[in-house]
């Protein structure tokens, strides 16, 4: 399986970057290809409904995501929703998500925004017919060590590893569904 791990944080590194690295290591340990795509390193335009789709960076990223079997989005939560970069990513590359297995990992300051990703996930399921994992991993600042890393052997690491294994099953199911639609 080939998975694209999308780090939607526009600040390089940090907690979402660490989570993306942990996920990539889990996929690699299970024998899968994993590519981290950091939006902080991509010069993507804001979606304007027109010219943005002719932008070379948009075209390249859309093609890159179309080759993935599964997509795993790692995004911070701001103001009770995924950040604007994650939303812009979907607007720019949405059709490359069609029918794919999708997982989500969120970082937030506290537990109060736990349900905020649901509208985002619902739109992926309905608009692009993604097979969305309902077991998204919600990580708060309290789950990290002082150096912004996750404790070894902790609950969050266990849940991330489970999500990585679940993505294998969802990606296989997405492939089978696509074959039935042909």
pLDDT at residue 181 in the model? 83
Structural domains of the chain, with CATH? 2-181 (3.40.50.360)
Average pLDDT over residues 19-33: 96
56-66 and 84-93 helices, crossing angle to 10°: 80
Q: What is the dihedral of CA 114, 17, 64, 77, to 10 degrees?
A: 20
Q: How far is CA 111 from CA 19, 137, 155, in A?
A: 18, 12, 15
pTM: 0.95
3-class SS of residue 34: strand
Tens of pLDDT along 99-158? 999 999 999 988 888 998 999 999 999 999 999 999 999 999 999 999 999 999 999 999
Q: Are 10 and 85 in contact (CB under 8 A)?
A: yes
**Is residue 13 pLDDT above 90, yes or no?**
no
Tens of pLDDT along 32-48? 999 999 999 999 999 99
Residue spans of alpha helices (H) in 30-152: 56-66, 84-93, 118-127
């Amino acid at each position: 399986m080939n998975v694209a791990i999308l780090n939607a944080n526009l600040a390089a590194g940090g907690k979402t970057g660490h989570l993306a690295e942990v996920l990539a290591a889990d996929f690699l340990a299970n024998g899968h290809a994993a590519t981290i795509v950091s939006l902080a390193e991509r010069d993507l335009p804001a979606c304007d409904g027109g010219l943005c789709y002719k932008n070379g960076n948009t075209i390249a990223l859309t093609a890159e995501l179309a080759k993935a079997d599964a997509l795993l989005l790692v995004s911070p939560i701001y103001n009770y929703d995924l950040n604007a970069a994650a939303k812009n990513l979907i607007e720019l590359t949405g059709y490359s998500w069609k029918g794919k297995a999708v997982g989500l990992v969120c970082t937030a300051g506290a537990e109060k925004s736990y349900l905020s990703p649901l509208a985002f996930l619902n739109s992926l399921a309905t608009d692009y017919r993604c097979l969305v994992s309902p077991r998204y991993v919600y990580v708060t600042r309290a789950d990290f060590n002082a150096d912004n890393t996750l404790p070894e052997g902790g609950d969050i690491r266990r849940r991330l590893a489970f999500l990585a294994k679940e993505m294998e099953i969802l990606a296989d199911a997405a492939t089978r569904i696509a074959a039935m639609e042909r």
